Protein backbone atom coordinates (compact mmCIF):
# COMPACT_ATOMS: atom_id res chain seq x y z
CA UNK A 1 0.00 0.00 0.00
CA UNK A 2 1.44 3.36 -0.97
CA UNK A 3 1.84 6.14 1.59
CA UNK A 4 -0.32 8.49 -0.50
CA UNK A 5 -3.86 8.50 0.84
CA UNK A 6 -5.63 10.77 -1.63
CA UNK A 7 -6.27 9.91 -5.26
CA UNK A 8 -3.90 11.41 -7.83
CA UNK A 9 -4.79 14.98 -8.58
CA UNK A 10 -6.16 15.82 -5.13
CA UNK A 11 -3.95 17.56 -2.61
CA UNK A 12 -4.28 17.56 1.16
CA UNK A 13 -4.76 20.39 3.58
CA UNK A 14 -2.27 19.85 6.37
CA UNK A 15 -1.64 23.14 8.17
CA UNK A 16 -3.98 24.85 10.60
CA UNK A 17 -3.71 28.08 8.59
CA UNK A 18 -5.05 26.30 5.50
CA UNK A 19 -8.05 24.95 7.43
CA UNK A 20 -8.75 28.41 8.90
CA UNK A 21 -8.59 30.01 5.46
CA UNK A 22 -11.28 27.64 4.15
CA UNK A 23 -13.57 28.67 7.03
CA UNK A 24 -13.89 32.09 5.34
CA UNK A 25 -15.45 30.46 2.28
CA UNK A 26 -18.82 28.91 1.61
CA UNK A 27 -20.51 26.35 3.89
CA UNK A 28 -22.70 23.57 2.55
CA UNK A 29 -24.62 21.79 5.29
CA UNK A 30 -25.67 18.18 5.04
CA UNK A 31 -27.02 15.43 7.23
CA UNK A 32 -23.66 13.72 7.74
CA UNK A 33 -21.22 16.62 7.56
CA UNK A 34 -20.67 20.30 6.82
CA UNK A 35 -18.63 20.98 3.70
CA UNK A 36 -16.59 24.19 3.67
CA UNK A 37 -15.41 25.34 0.25
CA UNK A 38 -12.97 28.08 -0.72
CA UNK A 39 -12.09 29.17 -4.24
CA UNK A 40 -8.36 29.93 -4.17
CA UNK A 41 -8.63 31.72 -7.54
CA UNK A 42 -6.02 29.35 -8.94
CA UNK A 43 -7.79 27.34 -11.67
CA UNK A 44 -4.58 25.67 -12.81
CA UNK A 45 -3.93 23.98 -9.46
CA UNK A 46 -5.32 20.70 -8.15
CA UNK A 47 -8.14 20.78 -5.60
CA UNK A 48 -7.19 20.10 -1.98
CA UNK A 49 -9.22 18.48 0.80
CA UNK A 50 -9.00 18.18 4.57
CA UNK A 51 -11.07 16.36 7.16
CA UNK A 52 -12.09 17.56 10.62
CA UNK A 53 -13.51 15.17 13.19
CA UNK A 54 -13.79 16.66 16.67
CA UNK A 55 -13.48 14.74 19.92
CA UNK A 56 -17.22 15.24 20.44
CA UNK A 57 -17.79 12.71 17.66
CA UNK A 58 -16.36 9.82 19.68
CA UNK A 59 -13.16 8.19 20.83
CA UNK A 60 -10.06 7.86 18.65
CA UNK A 61 -11.19 4.60 17.06
CA UNK A 62 -14.54 6.08 16.01
CA UNK A 63 -12.97 9.32 14.76
CA UNK A 64 -10.48 7.40 12.63
CA UNK A 65 -13.26 5.24 11.24
CA UNK A 66 -15.21 8.38 10.30
CA UNK A 67 -12.14 9.80 8.53
CA UNK A 68 -11.51 6.54 6.66
CA UNK A 69 -15.12 6.35 5.47
CA UNK A 70 -15.01 9.96 4.25
CA UNK A 71 -11.66 9.52 2.48
CA UNK A 72 -12.94 6.44 0.68
CA UNK A 73 -16.17 8.19 -0.34
CA UNK A 74 -14.12 11.02 -1.83
CA UNK A 75 -11.84 8.56 -3.61
CA UNK A 76 -14.70 6.59 -5.15
CA UNK A 77 -17.30 9.22 -5.94
CA UNK A 78 -16.75 12.82 -4.99
CA UNK A 79 -13.32 13.52 -6.49
CA UNK A 80 -14.82 13.72 -9.95
CA UNK A 81 -16.92 16.74 -8.92
CA UNK A 82 -14.11 18.70 -7.26
CA UNK A 83 -13.20 21.91 -9.04
CA UNK A 84 -9.56 22.82 -9.75
CA UNK A 85 -8.20 25.59 -7.56
CA UNK A 86 -10.67 24.95 -4.72
CA UNK A 87 -10.08 23.86 -1.13
CA UNK A 88 -12.57 21.61 0.66
CA UNK A 89 -12.88 20.83 4.37
CA UNK A 90 -15.29 18.12 5.49
CA UNK A 91 -16.42 18.69 9.09
CA UNK A 92 -17.85 15.31 10.06
CA UNK A 93 -20.82 14.52 12.23
CA UNK A 94 -21.26 11.31 14.18
CA UNK A 95 -24.04 10.20 11.80
CA UNK A 96 -21.30 9.20 9.32
CA UNK A 97 -20.80 6.01 11.36
CA UNK A 98 -24.42 4.88 10.96
CA UNK A 99 -24.96 5.95 7.35
CA UNK A 100 -24.89 3.41 4.57
CA UNK A 101 -21.82 3.88 2.43
CA UNK A 102 -23.93 4.50 -0.68
CA UNK A 103 -25.81 7.31 1.11
CA UNK A 104 -22.54 8.79 2.29
CA UNK A 105 -21.03 8.74 -1.21
CA UNK A 106 -24.17 10.28 -2.70
CA UNK A 107 -24.36 13.03 -0.06
CA UNK A 108 -20.70 13.94 -0.40
CA UNK A 109 -20.78 14.01 -4.20
CA UNK A 110 -23.94 16.15 -4.25
CA UNK A 111 -22.52 18.67 -1.74
CA UNK A 112 -19.28 18.99 -3.67
CA UNK A 113 -21.09 19.34 -6.99
CA UNK A 114 -23.68 21.82 -5.65
CA UNK A 115 -23.86 25.02 -7.65
CA UNK A 116 -22.55 27.47 -5.05
CA UNK A 117 -25.67 28.72 -3.30
CA UNK A 118 -28.18 28.38 -6.14
CA UNK A 119 -29.61 25.05 -5.00
CA UNK A 120 -32.25 25.05 -2.26
CA UNK A 121 -30.35 22.62 -0.03
CA UNK A 122 -27.09 24.56 -0.06
CA UNK A 123 -26.43 27.48 2.22
CA UNK A 124 -23.74 30.09 2.20
CA UNK A 125 -22.63 31.40 5.58
CA UNK A 126 -25.20 33.97 6.63
CA UNK A 127 -27.42 33.44 3.59
CA UNK A 128 -30.05 30.96 2.46
CA UNK A 129 -31.39 28.05 4.47
CA UNK A 130 -29.76 27.07 7.72
| Model confidence pLDDT, tens digit, residues 98-126 | 999 999 999 998 998 885 444 334 444 44
The answer to whether 117 and 128 are in contact (CB under 8 A) is yes
**What pLDDT does 7 receive?**
57
Q: Measure the CA–CA gap between 42 and 56, rounded to whole angstroms.
A: 34
Q: What is the pTM of this model?
A: 0.80
**What pLDDT does 117 receive?**
46
- What's the 3-state SS for 44-72? CCCCEEEEECCHHHCCHHHHHHHHHHHHH
Mean pLDDT by 10 residues, the chain (130 residues): 58 94 94 94 91 95 96 88 92 95 93 62 42
**What pLDDT does 77 receive?**
86
**What pLDDT does 129 receive?**
43
- Measured between alpha carbons, how far apart are the two ends of the chain, in Å? 41
Amino acid sequence: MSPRRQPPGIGRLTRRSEFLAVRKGERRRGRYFVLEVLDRKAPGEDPRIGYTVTTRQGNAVERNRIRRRLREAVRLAARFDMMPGHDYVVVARREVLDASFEDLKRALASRIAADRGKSGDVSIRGHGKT
